[in-house]
Amino acid sequence: MKKQPKPRVAFFDFTDCEGCQLQIANMGTTLLELTQLVDIVKFREIMSEEAEDYDIAIIEGAISTDNDVKRIKKIREKAKVLITLGACAAIGGVNGIKNRTSLEIAKQRVYGDMAGSINTINAMPVHKVVNVDYIINGCPVYLPEVISVFKCLLMGKPYVVPNYPVCAECKMNENVCRYEKDEECLGPVTRAGCNSWCINNGNKCYGCRGLLENPPIDAAKDILLKYGLTLEEVLGRFTLYNDSMGEKYDKEFK
């Protein structure tokens, strides 16, 4: 193979908890293997050096201030490839909860007296502001998927996020269905790709990977209602992670 200079990777965070970057920092030897293929030039969780030039920008976090908008646009200009890392960047994530109320009320709730000096806008996933080349879903990201995305990137092919529900993976893992135990679970309407990570470990699906492209909302609603949830509760479950993209689901539900 031709020897090419390794692409330079920089990590950036916006409105998030930096937990997805932490996942990557905790990758262990695989991270070392990955550095055979790419140069990490900016990643504040693991290094103090910071380079200004990069080829691949990895973005964690949602866009939620005017400043964020300016900053992400600048990064996009510079980066050849832009990857969103985690639910906040991919679908807005939990940050979207603030979009449920007016910005004034949200500011008041969080900052009280200081609310007046806070600049904030509705939380948005990165792709609402700039073009995104690769999306890595999840809260936090699922490491095998992160590695798959890197491989796709380096091979020059798109990464296709599965457009089938988590159930498909969950059944292959032979888990006892949460519904079987009279618990609700967002698996049926959430995009797979996480290998039903949460359910494998005894939890349920919270829908952190975002809803399917063509979610069978009516049927899903029937099921959730059958298991004793009210419409508000159902909406609440659906929108924990998906609120910033909520219009679509509001429309489907109401």
Partner 1 sequence: MKYAVIKKEDLNLWVKHLMKKAKLYAPKRKENLFVFRQVKDASEICLSYIPTILPPKKYYFPQKEKLLKFNINPFLTSKAIEGFEDFILFAVHTCDIAGIQCMDVVFRDGPEDPNYLNRKDKMTIIGIECLQYCDEHANCVSMGNHVPRGGYDLMMIELSEKFILHINSEKGEKLVSSLDYIKEADEKDMISLERLREAKKKMFKEEFSGSLPEIYEVFDKRFNSSVWKDIAKQCVACGNCTAVCPTCYCFDVIDEVELSLNKGTRYRMWNSCLMDDFAKVAGGEDFRKGRDARQRHRYYRKFKYPVDKFNRYFCTGCGRCTRSCMAGIKLVETVNSLLKEP
Partner 2 sequence: MIDREILLEKLKISPYKPIKAKIIQAYMLTDKEKFLRIELERKINLGHEPGQFVMVSIFGFTEAPISICSSPTDKGFFDLTVRNAGVLTNKLHQMEKGDTLGIRGPFGKGFPVDNMFGYDLLIVAGGLGIVPLRSLIRYIIHNRNDFGNVQLLLGCKTPQELLFKKEIKEWLKRAEVNVNCTVDKADSEWQGNVGLITTLIPGVDINPARTYAVVVGPPIMYKFVIVKLLEKKIPDYQIIVSLERRMRCGLGKCGHCQIEGVYVCQSGPVFTYADLKNFKGECHEKTA
Q: Would you count residue 202 as binding partner 2 (CB under 8 A)?
A: no
Binding partner selected for residue 114 from partner 1, partner 2, none, CB under the kind-specific 5 to 8 Å limit: none
Minimum Å distance from CB 218 to partner 2? 24
Closest CA to 189 of 172, 212, 209: 212
- State the nearest-atom distance from the C-beta of 7 to partner 2, in Å: 18
Closest contact distance (angstroms) between CB of 116 and partner 1 is: 47
Interaction residues for partner 1, span 204-223 (CB under 8 A): 212-214, 216, 218-220, 222-223
Contact of residue 158 among partner 1, partner 2, none (CB under 5-8 Å per partner type): partner 2
* Alpha helices (H) along the chain: 19-25, 29-34, 66-78, 87-91, 103-111, 143-155, 166-172, 197-200, 217-226, 231-239, 246-253
- 3-class DSSP state for residue 122? coil
Q: Which of 2, 3, 157, 181 binds partner 2 (CB under 8 A)?
A: 157
Give the DSSP per-residue string, 94-121. Answer: GGGGGGGS-HHHHHHHHHGGGGGG----
Closest Cα to residue 89, out of 158, 187, 189, 20?
20
Q: CB-wise, 32 or 160, nearer to partner 2? A: 160
The helix (run of H) or strand (run of E) holding residue 42 is strand 39-42
156 counts as binding partner 2 under rule CB under 8 A: yes
- The conformation of residue 238, written as its DSSP 8-state character, comes to H
The candidate with the shortest Cα–Cα distance to 59, out of 93, 82, 31, 34, is 82
91 and 210 in contact (C-beta within 8 Å)?
yes
Are 92 and 207 in contact, with CB atoms under 8 Å apart? no
- The answer to the question of residue 100 lying near partner 1 (CB under 8 A) is no
- Residue 163 binding result from partner 1, partner 2, none, given CB thresholds of 5 to 8 Å by partner type: partner 1
Residues touching partner 2: how many (CB under 8 A)?
5
**Closest approach of partner 2 to the CB of residue 2, in Å:** 14
Residues contributing to the site for partner 2 (CB under 8 A): 155-158, 160
Residues contributing to the site for partner 1 (CB under 8 A): 1, 30, 33-34, 36-37, 147, 151, 154-155, 163-165, 167-168, 171-172, 174-177, 179-181, 187-189, 212-214, 216, 218-220, 222-223, 226
